[in-house]
Amino acid sequence: MTTVFGVPLPAILGQLTLGLVNGSFYALLSLGLAVIFGLLRIVNFAHGAFYMLGAFAAYIGLQAFGMNYWLALLLAPLAVALLGAVIERLFLRRLYRLDPIYGLLLTFGVALIAEGIMRNRFGASGKSYPVPHLLQGVFDLGFMVLPIYRAWVVAASLTVCAATWFLIERTRLGATLRAATQNARLVQAFGINVPLLLTATYGAGVGLAALAGVLAAPVVQVSPLMGSSLVIVVFAVVVIGGMGSIIGAILTGVLLGLIEGLTKVVYPEASNIVVFVIMALVLIWRPAGLFGRE
């Protein structure tokens, strides 16, 4: 059998495929963070909590209203985005002119409250969300069996990532957004409602997290802690990619998923720190991140 570094090739291919799956989750989550940081300068520590709330919204929708997966994919992110918009209007808005640490503390508090409420209501061990009928079953790739659902996750998140990138970097709306963050007063002078734009941006970033949550719901236990275990990794991804860089967040997300996948074969014990080792190295070598501007 062909081997690479003493590991059989099929195993490597299998792990790379899984790495791609995880990487697309990272990409989708770090994208939302990067959008929020890039445009609002808020370090959104509640991102993991919104991801968790997205998954729970899908679960509650199914249990309470029999809402199916496809509808949840649309409605859960909308509901969470709305919650995000309310939080932005009521609290975050007051912090834009202050030191970024205040935004971080506020969102961190929001995350703790959200986790606490869900834990109180649903318990720590979480709930099961079924894989939708249409996506049940597996692809046999020869070197591994890939559940159809995981393939769908990759396709869906990469599509959403590409669309978001296009929206911000290539459309008039995106240009207005970027301009608003550069010089809000000037943009406002052109008759554009900047505060509304910022609310919508935070809502959209949070909605992306919730979308990732719905995508994750059938794969992992829907539990109050599901976000807190991811958010730190996702922050590392954003830092490595360059704070605020959209394309950096997407590419780094996928790349780190792949690297983490390989680590799981070579030295599994290090799989949850490899991302941080890379972050440290990148910060030494390029303090602004791989795609960040100095």
Partner 1 sequence: MQFQPLRFGALSVALWALLSVPVAPARAAGDAVVIGDIDDFTGVYADVQGQGGVEAIHMAIDDFGGTVLGRKIEVLFADHQNKPDIGASKFREWVDQNGLNMLIGGSNTGVSIAMAKVAAAKKVIFIPIGAGGSSLTGADCTPYSIHYGYDTTALANGTASDIVKNGGKTWYFITADYAFGSQLQDSATRVVTANGGKVLGSVRVPLGTTDFSSFLLQAQASGAQVLGLANAGTDFSNSLKAAEEFGITKTMKPAALLAFLSDIHSLTLQTAHGLYLTTGWYWDLNPETRAFAKRFFAKINKEPTETQAAYYSSTLQYLKAVKAVGSTDADKVMAELKRAKINDMYAKDASIRADGLMVHAMYVMQVKTPAESKYPWDYYQVIKVMSGEDAYGKEPDPSCPFLKK
Given the rule CB under 8 A, which residues bind partner 1?
8, 10-11, 14-15, 18-19, 21-22, 108, 112, 119, 123-128, 130-131, 138, 144-145, 147, 149-150, 219-221, 223, 225-226, 228-230, 232, 261, 264-265, 268-269, 271-273, 276
Measured from the CB atom, is 167 or 220 closer to partner 1?
220
Measured from the CB atom, is 22 or 44 closer to partner 1?
22
Q: Measured from the CB of residue 237, what is the shortest distance to partner 1 in angstroms?
A: 14
Q: Give residue 193's identity as a one-letter amino acid code.
A: N
Closest CA to 57 of 185, 209, 199: 209
CA pair distance 277, 286, nearest whole angstrom = 14
The H or E element that residue 256 is part of is helix 246-266
**Distances from the Cα of 277 to the Cαs of 119, 155, 247, 260, in angstroms?**
31, 29, 22, 11
Measured from the CB atom, is 145 or 163 closer to partner 1?
145
Measured from the CB atom, is 82 or 273 closer to partner 1?
273
Q: Measured from the CB of residue 54, what is the shortest distance to partner 1 in angstroms?
A: 15
Q: Measured from the CB of residue 226, what is the shortest distance to partner 1 in angstroms?
A: 6
CA pair distance 76, 94, nearest whole angstrom = 27
CA pair distance 241, 251, nearest whole angstrom = 8
Measured from the CB atom, is 188 or 271 closer to partner 1?
271
Q: Measured from the CB of residue 18, what is the shortest distance to partner 1 in angstroms?
A: 5
Query: Please, are residues 13 and 265 in contact by the beta-carbon 8 Å criterion?
Result: no
| C-alpha torsion sign, points 159, 163, 169, 170 | positive
Measured from the CB atom, is 11 or 247 closer to partner 1?
11
Q: What is the DSSP letter of 97?
A: T
Helices (H), 140-227: 148-170, 172-182, 184-189, 194-216
Q: Measured from the CB of residue 116, what is the shortest distance to partner 1 in angstroms?
A: 8
Q: Measured from the CB of residue 5, what is the shortest distance to partner 1 in angstroms?
A: 15
Query: Please, are residues 57 and 27 in contact by the beta-carbon 8 Å criterion?
Result: no
Measured from the CB atom, is 85 or 230 closer to partner 1?
230
Q: Measured from the CB of residue 183, what is the shortest distance to partner 1 in angstroms?
A: 33
